[in-house]
Structure 1
């Protein structure tokens, strides 16, 4: 057995601890910055994928997808191709592509830019028509959205539009004033009457707890018959030489001026909608009144415990909402393309505004964007029907589907596998 010498002894191992490692401060700071940057992007991505804005966009996408399926089912060429699908399937796909692309291209040409127009005026006229239709939708949508933020549901847009439009028409046809006074006075009176009409629901809600949905629905009927009565009485609104429920045409001094000249139908009503958007944004985000609206909308009991007069907030919200919706009626009556006030001046906008407010998530600039989108649907739908023989009702179905998907965010998130906020 050989003796172990120094050369045969096992080498000693040195155990390195964390304390023995000297980190470079610059490397540590760089790692911290990278982690913070990654965290910021992760949070941003999480906000995007779980936020309401993305759900709204995807709701529009899904609605247009199912609208495309309806276009296929109603297209004669597609049905013809399906009759011999197994003999030559390519024909069916070609017909399907032509039907869908033709529909949405014509929708674009009727709503944004018509590249087939022979003059620049004809090419850009679609976008002006879209903005014209968007103005009353935005104004009414702002009114509905404001009540949403206060925890209320104003479904009385029709009655408020009718009263506001009729009041503006009364001032326009009964008074003879210079334009600098006549037009602002007609707008102001229309907004004020509609505000008072909307305030009835707010007052009943504040004093008695009456449900605003039922009250505003009933007020729609009352408002309609009041306006109809006024339009059948020559002492009120009926045109002197007419037996129909219709007012005289608005005088020049009380008509909203054109923005781009007589070749276009776009008038100052759109500017009114843009100004109202900024005003509502300021009220909701920069004023004490808007803070009270939002607090009451989030939790009325907590707001009351914090000293906020909940009843007064309800009443104020309906006053402002009624004025905004009434401006939509004023826009309809005093617009440069109107022939006067009728009992159908609301044109369904009072109910379409609910969809606009939902799509805009009750945010002023979101409502403005939603109003322009629905204005594009309305303007492009007529062109699509004329050029492609596609029923304009398809556009109404798309709008209804948007509401359906907006009402079910979990369904949209499940379809696109979006994470939830709790994830």
Structure 2
């Protein structure tokens, strides 16, 4: 029972919930100041997300990469590292999967798993490079990871041009059908929404995240390094190895996000002049989720819903899509400002405890 109280304790639930409410209220105020009706806007958002089976499927598709990058940031944060390079790891995951999916011709039961595995390893190794630089040279992971985001982008573009680019196009060849991870029956059930195995693997990833960190010796060592590196070193834990391992695992999560975008959604990769943005949104997802896998799952659902639903606000209620980003920014602000939320929640929790004591008496 104590285990479940630790996962779902009231303060960890009410603080993010309060941040979401305040963020939505802030967005409503901004819409009012801009001359828009917030009630109509939020109703349009709700209709866009749940208006049809297709919209539900596309909302899930939008949630999937946010879940993976949120897990990537949250996992490394638990080990005391700030992984701001999930975007580059995501891109490398896409590239690894695209190379295998296009260049190789194998039976489907080998091809698809191999493409997923290679993409995940590409993302993991790209993140492990950040861990190695920190462990061996003391390079701050924020600086190295954000620089590696741009290196990943241009390296990916180079590999696309050199190996995969379809002549006359700004994208690669299509992956072979044997490498696809789309789910045909689910896509048809959701009116041809672009559905794949990514959301299910992401949920399994959240379970692995929890089990690895809180139910294994290795996870205990990673958390110990994150909480107090000096004490962990005194206890005989290999700090350098833990840093590289935690970054590699985080990179695997981010790489899988890119893998399923290539193999399950688009079936090709495009030349890009800018990052996908999923890695940076993943920071917000992890922050809102308290860097806990359960919280990250719900935070990714919120962010994915707001992101996909913004089109409904734009077309049905004439609200600029930038308003949604303001709402998300307000949510992040209130989550980061724990003192504000706790100041609101604390009296409520105190009165609840008093009522519980009176009931027990």
| TM-score normalised by the chain length of structure 1 | 0.77
Partner SS state of residue 236, structure 2: coil
Question: Structure 1 residue aligned with 2:62, among 133, 141, 145?
Answer: 133
Question: Structure 2 residue aligned with 1:242, among 168, 174, 178?
Answer: 168
Question: 1:119 maps to what in 2?
Answer: none
Partner SS state of residue 187, structure 2: coil
Question: Using a 3 Å threshold, how does the CA distance of structure 1 residues 367 and 345 change in structure 2: closer, same or farther?
Answer: farther
Partner SS state of residue 217, structure 1: helix
- Structure 1 stretches of 5 or more lacking a match? 1-42, 77-98, 115-122
Distance in 2, matches of 1:160 and 1:61, equals: 32
Partner SS state of residue 25, structure 2: helix
1:413 aligns with 2:342: yes
Q: Is the Cα–Cα contact under 8 Å of residues 14 and 345 in structure 2 kept in the other structure? A: no
Q: How many angstroms does 1:287 deviate by?
A: 1.1
Q: How many angstroms does 1:339 deviate by?
A: 4.2
Q: How many angstroms does 1:260 deviate by?
A: 1.1
Question: Structure 2 residue aligned with 1:218, among 142, 147, 150?
Answer: 147
Question: 2:202 maps to what in 1?
Answer: 273
Q: Is the Cα–Cα contact under 8 Å of residues 360 and 370 in structure 1 kept in the other structure? A: yes
Question: Structure 1 residue aligned with 2:27, among 45, 67, 91?
Answer: 67
Following superposition of structure 1 onto structure 2, how do residues 155-166 of structure 1 map, counting pairs within 5 Å?
155-166=84-95
Q: How many angstroms does 1:416 deviate by?
A: 5.1
Question: 1:317 maps to what in 2?
Answer: 246
Q: How many angstroms does 1:253 deviate by?
A: 1.2
Question: 1:171 maps to what in 2?
Answer: 100
Q: Deviations over 1:221-262 (max 9, x none)?
A: 1111111112222xx1211x2253x21122211111225133
Q: Is the Cα–Cα contact under 8 Å of residues 248 and 341 in structure 1 kept in the other structure? A: no
Q: Is the Cα–Cα contact under 8 Å of residues 195 and 321 in structure 1 kept in the other structure? A: yes
Distance in 2, matches of 1:211 and 1:250, equals: 37
Distance in 1, matches of 2:299 and 2:274, equals: 21
Q: Deviations over 1:365-398 (max 9, x none)?
A: 1111111111111111112211111111111111
Distance in 1, matches of 2:77 and 2:349, equals: 23
Q: Is the Cα–Cα contact under 8 Å of residues 182 and 194 in structure 2 kept in the other structure? A: no
**How many residue pairs were aligned?**
342
Distance in 1, matches of 2:30 and 2:326, equals: 9
Distance in 1, matches of 2:217 and 2:35, equals: 55
Distance in 1, matches of 2:100 and 2:127, equals: 20
Who wins on radius of gyration, i.e. which is larger?
1
Q: Is the Cα–Cα contact under 8 Å of residues 95 and 269 in structure 2 kept in the other structure? A: no
Q: Is the Cα–Cα contact under 8 Å of residues 169 and 341 in structure 1 kept in the other structure? A: no
Structure holding more helix per residue = 2
Q: How many angstroms does 1:417 deviate by?
A: 5.5
Question: 1:80 maps to what in 2?
Answer: none
Question: 1:399 maps to what in 2?
Answer: 328
Question: Using a 3 Å threshold, how does the CA distance of structure 1 residues 363 and 332 change in structure 2: closer, same or farther?
Answer: same
Q: How many angstroms does 1:128 deviate by?
A: 1.9
Question: 2:297 maps to what in 1?
Answer: 368
Q: Is the Cα–Cα contact under 8 Å of residues 63 and 401 in structure 1 kept in the other structure? A: yes
Partner SS state of residue 102, structure 1: helix
Q: Is the Cα–Cα contact under 8 Å of residues 213 and 222 in structure 2 kept in the other structure? A: yes
Question: 2:127 maps to what in 1?
Answer: 198
Question: 1:330 maps to what in 2?
Answer: 259
Q: How many angstroms does 1:344 deviate by?
A: 6.3
Q: Deviations over 1:94-140 (max 9, x none)?
A: xxxxx1211111111112x22xxxxxxxx333322221111111111
Question: Using a 3 Å threshold, how does the CA distance of structure 1 residues 337 and 204 change in structure 2: closer, same or farther?
Answer: closer
Question: Using a 3 Å threshold, how does the CA distance of structure 1 residues 181 and 298 change in structure 2: closer, same or farther?
Answer: same
Distance in 2, matches of 1:393 and 1:374, equals: 14
- Structure 2 stretches of 5 or more lacking a match? 354-361
Partner SS state of residue 265, structure 2: coil
Following superposition of structure 1 onto structure 2, how do residues 3-402 of structure 1 map, counting pairs within 5 Å?
48=10, 51-75=11-35, 99-111=37-49, 113-114=50-51, 123-233=52-162, 236-239=163-166, 241-244=167-170, 246-258=171-183, 260-262=186-188, 263-343=192-272, 347-402=276-331
Distance in 2, matches of 1:394 and 1:345, equals: 22
Partner SS state of residue 297, structure 1: helix
Q: How many angstroms does 1:143 deviate by?
A: 0.9
RCO higher in structure (CA 8 A, sep ≥6): 2
Distance in 2, matches of 1:346 and 1:175, equals: 27
